[in-house]
Amino acid sequence: MAEIRIEQVRKAYGRNAVVHGVDLNFRSGEFVVILGPSGCGKSTLLRMIAGLEDITSGEIIIDNKVVNQLEPRDRGCAMVFQNYALYPHMDVAANMGYALKVAGVPKAERDRRIAETARIVGLEEYLTRKPAELSGGQRQRVAMGRAIIREPKVFLFDEPLSNLDAKLRVQMRVEIRRLHKRLSATSVFVTHDQVEAMTLADKLVVMYKGNVEQVGTPLEIYNTPRTRFVGSFIGSPAMNFLDGKFSADGEYFIFDGIPIPVDASLGKPHAGQAVALGIRPEHARMVPVGTPGSVPATVDFVEELGAGRVIHSDINGSNFAIAVTDHTSGEIGQPIALQLPSQHIHLFSSETGLRLDLGQETQRVKELAS
């Protein structure tokens, strides 16, 4: 196990900067997930940790040693890639033990470690098979076994589940979490899938356009998104946003001429200000049409999810989703009314996108990143 510190790390390709002064600290034994959309710099950051990309400036420190100038093989990291990268002419045993063979490990020791690793990843019956004879999930297990057998200080995962079907991805998430519990190695996992991130992470790092937007536990980030981007990216279906302003007395949020009553403690600090109001679909409530203080809307379409449904409604041309467990409500074209409970409302600056009620939360987020 090893601690990883990333201090003011930047990466640029010519004049094109892709990672902008990232500062992070991953504790020994943590399972860290770096989450963000394509092009946000998450895989580039992972590859810089591994030594596969040069650092433009800053320092990466693994186990109290600056590794900027070290070759990948000398950093104590093992990496699992998206495309498996297996040798097609070698069987499972040879693929997993190849690094040991190159390192000159005696055959008897190699065989012992191959057998132990195969047991850990559930491939004991497949050691003589070639990659072409394996399923996608089995190939990914071989790739993980090849990393485990080196007994690294740090495991790095670069979107390893992206090529698997939905059912297999769920199974592999469970296996990866169990594997981490067994090995207790520091792990850094990169993904664009927020469900993967929420289910796997001890610590979650959300990136956007080369910057770290927020660091925290999955629930902290879900319940208290630091920016509008984080609120929109974490959660399925995504957080609803209404752009408007508070009334002069702070008792109403005005959206497109519709007054929405809010708790005074929420509105008065921002009286008269233009803000973005966010609320998650599971927190909005459908109430009888005409209920005082409700927001009128019309059902646009409905997503059936088995255990519930997501009703997509239209509020004066803006889409607004509501997650419900009642399968009888929400017919297309039906007029409905919505309530937005003040305790579930999130406020963001219309100019910067930053959360407006950060207060002590800002300091707590900084402490989590350190």
Identify the pLDDT of residue 358: 53
Per-residue pLDDT of the chain (370 residues; tens, 9 = 90+): 789 999 999 999 999 999 999 999 999 999 999 999 999 999 999 999 999 999 999 999 999 999 999 999 899 999 988 887 899 999 999 999 998 998 899 999 999 999 999 988 889 999 999 999 998 888 988 988 998 898 888 999 999 888 788 888 888 888 888 888 888 889 999 999 999 999 999 999 999 999 999 999 999 999 999 999 999 999 988 999 999 999 999 999 999 999 999 998 889 999 999 999 999 999 999 999 989 989 999 999 999 988 889 999 999 999 999 999 887 777 889 999 999 999 999 999 999 999 997 543 444 444 444 4
* Token pair recorded at residue 304: 């059936």
* Token pair recorded at residue 135: 């399923």
Identify the pLDDT of residue 205: 98
Identify the pLDDT of residue 361: 40
Domain 230-360 -> CATH class = mainly beta
Q: How many CA atoms lie within 13 A of 370 on its CB side?
A: 6
DSSP annotation of 354: B
The count of other CB atoms within 10 Å of the CB of residue 107 is 10
The count of other CB atoms within 10 Å of the CB of residue 62 is 22
Three-class secondary structure of residue 295 per DSSP: strand
Q: Which residues contact 211 (CB under 8 A, 6 or more apart)?
A: 20, 21, 22
C-alpha dihedral over 281, 198, 364, 250, to 10 degrees?
-10
Identify the pLDDT of residue 133: 94
Query: Cα 110 from chain centroid?
Result: 36
Identify the pLDDT of residue 353: 94
Identify the pLDDT of residue 329: 74
- Provide the residue count of the chain: 370
Domain with CATH 2.40.50.140 in the chain: 230-360
Sign of the four-CA dihedral 120, 122, 128, 130: negative
Domain with CATH 3.40.50.300 in the chain: 4-228
Q: How far apart are CA 47 and CA 155, in angstroms?
A: 12
Q: How far apart are CA 80 and CA 192, in angstroms?
A: 16
Identify the pLDDT of residue 90: 94
Q: How far apart are CA 134 and CA 129, in angstroms?
A: 7
Identify the pLDDT of residue 305: 87
Q: How far apart are CA 193 and CA 236, in angstroms?
A: 11
At the second CATH level, the architecture of 4-228 is 3-Layer(aba) Sandwich (3.40)
